Copies of this chain bind each other. A is one copy, B any other.
Amino acid sequence: MKVAKFGGSSVANGTQIKKVAEIIKQDQKRKFVVVSAPGKRYADDVKITDLLIAMGETYIKGEQYEGYYADVLARFKEIINELELDLALYAEIEKSIKTVLTEDLPDGMKLDRIKALGEDNSAKIVSSYLCKIGLNARYINPKEAGIIVSDDPGNAQILPESFDKIYQLRDVDGILVIPGFFGYTKEGKLVTFSRGGSDITGAIIAAGVKAEMYENFTDVNSVYTVNPAIVNNPKEISVLTYREMRELSYAGFSVFHDEALIPAIKEKIPICIKNTNNPKAKGTFVVAERELDDHVVSGIASDSGFVIIYVSKYLMNREIGFGRKLLQILEDERISFEHAPSGIDDMSVIIRERNLPPEKEEIVLRRIKEELHPDTVSLQRGIALIMVVGEGLVNTIGVAKQAVSAISNAKINIEMINQGSSEVSMMFGIKEEDLEPAVRSLYQSFFE
């Protein structure tokens, strides 16, 4: 049995949903279908979820919400017309939206219920269409599916007892179409996951039914070895391990949300990333372990927008507690740091710029000076990180040399190398303006 999850672009309109239906028809193992809300039909389009959020927020504030309301309904109507579905379904959708809007509920609860309308109605449309073309399909509400979550609106966490209940879905007849993005508390209250939560639902269902595969349908043929915005037509990756995927997605590979995958990863369910628009393409498999072939490096990820705080103090390494105190200051200020490479008398902390706004910067620098009495503290913005990722990298002589040479040969100064703390990646810090030539040089060296 497989779980097939279709993202927003895969269900954006009738044409796309027909592709989805064809995909489901092609493989009888695709018993569990998880859908997002209709996404963008073209680059400048607005996702239904964003329309719903705007509608909900304006409604709650007592502002003009009617325009958003009309837009949402128009989107659903267009899809239903295109698929030539029964107009009773449209009436049902319209009613579901009106009911949620006008129900007497606390604001937080209402907003979560409004946000969930996109996925919920998307699932109803897809299951109707599957039935229309002769498949034995049915819509399953997350409550019925057994997705029991914590009461954290917008950030629900799955409760462990869910999985046994979900496992029983295996015995339900036919194709089950489940809306992504939300679950229910034990008390029956609807709560949404964090943004991108359809991936979470997919991973939960895959883990719960112990699927042989979790297929993640999106709009790219595969995961690429490098960002296609930097290198034209880069090679595709056929197999990745979970931790390679995690290291790649950390630094700019945004194929899906890495946190979302935890349930599937825990159960070691193989994940396949495929393209709804080109389902014959092999896609990229993400698995627990892979054979190490001649390709040690799987991919090169990169991201900019980092800042480094350098702290140096003579004899720092003799001072028990210095590093801990530095990290404590960041924790006190609720700043999550990315890495903290340290030398003998130096420690540097790398933080995403968005996590260190100017007012926090001032507080942090002042506290470091006052509480740690360092010899120097300095801060460098405009740092980019490059991750060279590959299983087996830790035991392969010469990869570091090849990577460092590729960057140096592009006449780029390496601000930072962090190798060995991760078994599957090597990290380089460079100036943001050097990012593209560095990545291109690395790509050439490892993949051309």
Contact residues of A with B, CB < 8 Å? 243, 246-247, 250, 258-259, 262, 265, 310, 312, 314-315, 317-321, 323-324, 327-328, 330-331, 334-348, 394-398, 400-401, 404-405, 407-409, 411-423, 425-427, 429
List B contacts of A409 (CB < 8 A).
401
Q: A343-B421, A344-B422, A418-B418 are in contact. List 5 more A-B contacts (CB 8 A).
A: A317-B336, A317-B338, A342-B418, A394-B415, A417-B417
Protomer copies: 2
**Among candidates B320, B416, B427, residue contacting A336 with C-beta atoms closer than 8 Å:** B320
Report how far A419 CA is from B343 CA in the complex, Å. Answer: 8
Distance in angstroms from A312 CB to nearest chain B CB is 8
A315-B259, A320-B331 given; A411·B423 CB < 8 A: no
- Name the residue in A324, A348, A405, A409 with the highest tally of chain B Cβ atoms < 10 Å from its Cβ: A324
Verify B408–A416 contact, CB threshold 8 A. no
A324-B327, A331-B321, A413-B395 given; A420·B341 CB < 8 A: yes
Verify A419–B414 contact, CB threshold 8 A. yes
Verify A421–B416 contact, CB threshold 8 A. yes
Verify B421–A346 contact, CB threshold 8 A. yes
Report how far A71 CA is from B339 CA in the complex, Å. Answer: 57
Report how far A53 CA is from B174 CA in the complex, Å. Answer: 87
A421-B348, A425-B343 given; A259·B318 CB < 8 A: yes
Verify A336–B324 contact, CB threshold 8 A. no
Report how far A416 CA is from B404 CA in the complex, Å. Answer: 14
Report how far A328 CA is from B265 CA in the complex, Å. Answer: 30
Report how far A318 CA is from B422 CA in the complex, Å. Answer: 16
Residue of B nearest to A410 (CB): B397
**Among candidates B314, B340, B342, B422, residue contacting A246 with C-beta atoms closer than 8 Å:** B314
- Name the residue in A243, A339, A344, A401 with the highest tally of chain B Cβ atoms < 10 Å from its Cβ: A344
**Among candidates B246, B314, B341, B407, residue contacting A418 with C-beta atoms closer than 8 Å:** B341
Report how far A342 CA is from B339 CA in the complex, Å. Answer: 5
Give me the 3 closest cross-chain CB pairs, A-B, nearest first. A416-B420, A343-B422, A324-B327
27 A-B contact pairs sorted by A residue (CB < 8 Å) = A246-B315, A246-B344, A250-B317, A262-B314, A265-B314, A317-B336, A320-B335, A321-B331, A324-B327, A324-B330, A338-B344, A339-B341, A339-B343, A340-B340, A340-B342, A341-B341, A341-B342, A342-B421, A343-B418, A347-B421, A348-B420, A396-B413, A397-B413, A398-B408, A404-B404, A416-B419, A416-B421
**Among candidates B324, B330, B404, residue contacting A400 with C-beta atoms closer than 8 Å:** B404
List B contacts of A429 (CB < 8 A).
420
Verify B397–A412 contact, CB threshold 8 A. yes
List B contacts of A259 (CB < 8 A).
315, 318
List B contacts of A258 (CB < 8 A).
315
A327-B323, A328-B324, A336-B317 given; A417·B419 CB < 8 A: yes
List B contacts of A320 (CB < 8 A).
331, 334-336
Distance in angstroms from A202 CB to nearest chain B CB is 18
Residue of B nearest to A395 (CB): B413
**Among candidates B341, B346, B401, residue contacting A423 with C-beta atoms closer than 8 Å:** B346
Report how far A413 CA is from B408 CA in the complex, Å. Answer: 20
Verify B417–A420 contact, CB threshold 8 A. yes
Verify A417–B418 contact, CB threshold 8 A. yes
Distance in angstroms from A248 CB to nearest chain B CB is 10
A321-B331, A397-B408 given; A345·B243 CB < 8 A: yes
Residue of B nearest to A251 (CB): B344
A323-B340, A340-B340, A421-B348 given; A408·B412 CB < 8 A: no
Verify A339–B344 contact, CB threshold 8 A. yes
**Among candidates B346, B397, B412, B421, residue contacting A341 with C-beta atoms closer than 8 Å:** B421
Verify B400–A345 contact, CB threshold 8 A. no
Report how far A348 CA is from B405 CA in the complex, Å. Answer: 25
Report how far A13 CA is from B317 CA in the complex, Å. Answer: 38
Report how far A310 CA is from B422 CA in the complex, Å. Answer: 9
Report how far A319 CA is from B338 CA in the complex, Å. Answer: 10
